[in-house]
DNA sequence: CTAAACTTTCAATAATTATTGAAAGTTTGT
DNA sequence: ACAAACTTTCAATAATTATTGAAAGTTTAG
């Protein structure tokens, strides 16, 4: 496999995997492209490489910046804006985990808590609802806490923890 | 909040969260409904509760069975088929983790391996592609291995591990 | 201040994904 | 074997989500 083929394969695979970490295809592809680029890229270059429109590029770059995994880079003497992504996979994983927790998991935990706190009227179905949502709440909370511990640690704590876990 | 409201809130929240664990809305809603039901439900009952068509119900129940989290229950003397879901949250988490690994993560790891194994032609861009995809590959593999360890353990290992992790 | 260079916005459109419902298929009881 | 009771399939349609592109907005250089 040659460079060009490998590059395309990587971008399309990582792009279609976007759903796994909760972002859309274009967003994931832009991030992929920056991830393997040796230098910051301009909007023009991104549009050209991925064959997507200016509007699409602009919107998705913004979202990536909101996620905290892409940053604007101003190159002295140039008018255009350039973009780079976090290059360290662990740092990347941390950002993503943190954002997903904040955007999706925390709000759901809140609702599970509310639902599992309704008044027990003594009927079997109410008891079941309370019991099951409480179990889900506890599991979600434990997993979320774990994730947040991981993301708040120093550089190599993630790998160390995972390895410890495996052994 | 009364039972009915709490129930609807739970089903719709869990349903919209489907994307988080990689299944569609109807699938997630059917699973939610079964999860808090005190008895097995027939297709009729599911259609009625969720206001979805017979075809939709049939297809999504099948997918849930493929995922291994819903099972057909034959009630003696009755013609209809009834359905139940795994009621233990930990068992549920295990099934889901295992399926996602098999369906999505493993195939991506394979491609990352292929891409990171291309011949190093000495150029900076090839070196960068190899380096970055290798880093992703290693992270993905570690995380996947961890997940699979978790899912292959006895009943309470998950909670114990998570707690250990947190402390 | 003005014009050129560049970015953002957003209504229209395209692409994708989910849902319906009726016909075809299957199973069971008599 | 037949018919009733039930489930599955799948082409048509609806709903949702992503993408475009051109107009409006912004920034910078002179």
Say if residue A93 is in the same domain as residue A81: no
Is the predicted pLDDT of residue A161 greater than 90, yes or no?
no
Say if residue A76 is in the same domain as residue A49: yes
Last residue of a domain, one of A38, A66, A85: A85
Say if residue A97 is in the same domain as residue A38: no
Find which of B15, B32, B111 to mutate to test the A interface (most A CBs within 10 Å of its CB): B111
Say if residue B16 is in the same domain as residue B79: yes
Task: Give the tens place of pLDDT for each residue, A43-101.
Answer: 999 999 999 999 999 999 999 999 999 999 988 888 899 999 999 998 898 888 889 89
Nearest CA in chain B to A149: B166
Report, in ranges, which bases of strand D sit under 7 Å from a protein C-beta: 5-11, 17-23, 28-29
Full domain range(s) for residue B107? 89-166
Say if residue B94 is in the same domain as residue B56: no
Say if residue A123 is in the same domain as residue A157: yes
Tokens of B100: 């996602």
Largest CA distance in chain A: 73
Task: Give the tens place of pLDDT for each residue, A121-144.
Answer: 999 999 999 999 999 999 899 888
Say if residue A120 is in the same domain as residue A68: no
CA–CA distance, A5 with B99 (Å, rounded to integer):
29
Q: Secondary structure of chain B in the HEC alphabet?
A: CCHHHHHHHHHHHHHHHHHHHCCCHHHHHHHHHHHCCCCCEEHHHHHHHHCCCHHHHHHHHHHHHHCCCEEEECCCCCCCCEEEECCCHHHHHHHHHHHHHHHHHHHHHHHHHHHHCCCCCCCHHHHHHHHHHHHHHHHHHHHHHHHHHHHCCCCCHHHHHHHHHHC
- What pLDDT band is residue B162 in, cutting at 50, 70 and 90? low
B101: which strand partners?
none
Span CA (A95) to C1' (D26), Å: 30
Average pLDDT value for residue range B31-53: 97
Question: Total domain count for chain A?
Answer: 2
Last residue of a domain, one of A51, A85, A119: A85
Q: What is the CATH number of the domain that holds B69?
A: 1.10.10.10
Say if residue A62 is in the same domain as residue A80: yes
Say if residue B79 is in the same domain as residue B112: no
**Measured CA to C1', what is the nucleotide nearest B19?**
C17
**Measured CA to C1', what is the nucleotide nearest B27?**
C18
Say if residue A57 is in the same domain as residue A104: no
A42 touches chain B (CB under 8 A): no
A41 touches chain B (CB under 8 A): no
- Cβ pair B115:A89 closer than 8 A: no
Last residue of a domain, one of B63, B85, B107: B85
Window 60-119 of B, Cβ < 8 Å to A: 87, 89-90, 93, 100, 104-105, 108, 111-112, 114-115, 118
Say if residue B78 is in the same domain as residue B98: no
Task: Give the tens place of pLDDT for each residue, B107-143.
Answer: 999 999 999 999 999 999 999 999 999 999 998 998 8
Say if residue B45 is in the same domain as residue B101: no
Cβ–Cβ pairs < 8 A, chains A and B? 138
């Amino acid at each position: 496999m040659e460079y060009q083929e490998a590059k395309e394969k990587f971008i399309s695979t990582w792009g279609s995997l976007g759903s796994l970490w909760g972002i859309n295809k274009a967003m994931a592809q832009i991030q992929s492209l920056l991830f393997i680029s040796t230098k910051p890229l301009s909007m023009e270059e991104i549009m050209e490489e991925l064959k997507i429109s200016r509007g699409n590029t602009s919107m998705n770059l913004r979202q990536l910046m909101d996620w905290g995994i892409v940053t604007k880079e101003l190159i002295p003497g140039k008018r255009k804006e350039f973009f780079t992504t976090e290059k360290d996979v662990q740092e990347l994983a941390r950002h993503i985990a943190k954002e997903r927790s904040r955007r999706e998991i925390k709000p759901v935990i809140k609702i599970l808590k509310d639902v599992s706190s309704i008044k027990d009227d003594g009927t079997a179905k109410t008891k079941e609802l309370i019991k099951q949502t409480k179990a889900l709440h506890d599991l979600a909370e434990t997993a979320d806490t774990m994730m947040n511990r991981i993301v708040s640690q120093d550089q190599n704590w993630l790998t160390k923890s995972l390895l410890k876990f495996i052994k």
